[in-house]
């Protein structure tokens, strides 16, 4: 889920790799599985830590991934820059929707 090139050993077992570096291909998977996500209201921002970023409104925008059969043995890694969380609010950055993972889920 990070920007930059992928090393050989890093590719082993990799399910998804979204860089969010391209406005035209915001949820393009640059990993070996080519599992592109579906953008649901998220927009591109050129102000990412490394190149671009996906920007969410915190209410109804997300990126939906294709179904992944293995939902028990996963490790997720992502950079997030919340602009505000509000008092007593816990941010939900990822969630399971049916058999697909979504970023910035409200479910």
Task: Measure the CA–CA gap between 76 and 52, rounded to whole angstroms.
Answer: 19
CA 46 to chain centroid: 16
Within 10 A of 32 (CB to CB), how many other CB atoms are there?
A: 13
pTM for this predicted structure:
0.66
CB-side exposure of 42: number of CA atoms within 13 Å? 26
Three-state DSSP state, 8: helix
pLDDT for the residue numbered 39: 92
Task: Measure the CA–CA gap between 4 and 1, rounded to whole angstroms.
Answer: 10
Q: Quick one: which H or E segment has residue 95?
A: strand 94-97
**pLDDT one digit per residue (tens) for the chain, 107 residues:** 444 555 566 677 788 888 888 888 999 998 888 899 999 998 998 887 778 888 888 778 888 888 777 666 777 777 777 776 666 555 666 777 776 666 654 44
Instruction: Measure CA of the first residue to CA of the last residue in the chain; give whole Å.
Output: 22
């Amino acid at each position: 889920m990070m920007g930059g090139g992928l090393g050989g050993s890093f590719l082993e077992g990799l399910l998804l790799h979204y860089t969010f570096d391209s406005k035209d291909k915001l949820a393009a998977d640059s990993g070996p599985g080519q599992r592109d996500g579906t953008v649901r209201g998220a927009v591109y921002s050129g102000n990412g830590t490394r190149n671009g970023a996906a920007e969410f409104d915190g209410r109804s925008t997300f990126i939906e991934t294709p179904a992944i059969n293995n939902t028990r043995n996963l490790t997720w890694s992502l950079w997030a820059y919340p602009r505000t969380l509000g008092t007593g609010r816990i941010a939900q950055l990822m969630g399971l929707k049916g058999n697909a993972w979504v970023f910035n889920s409200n479910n």
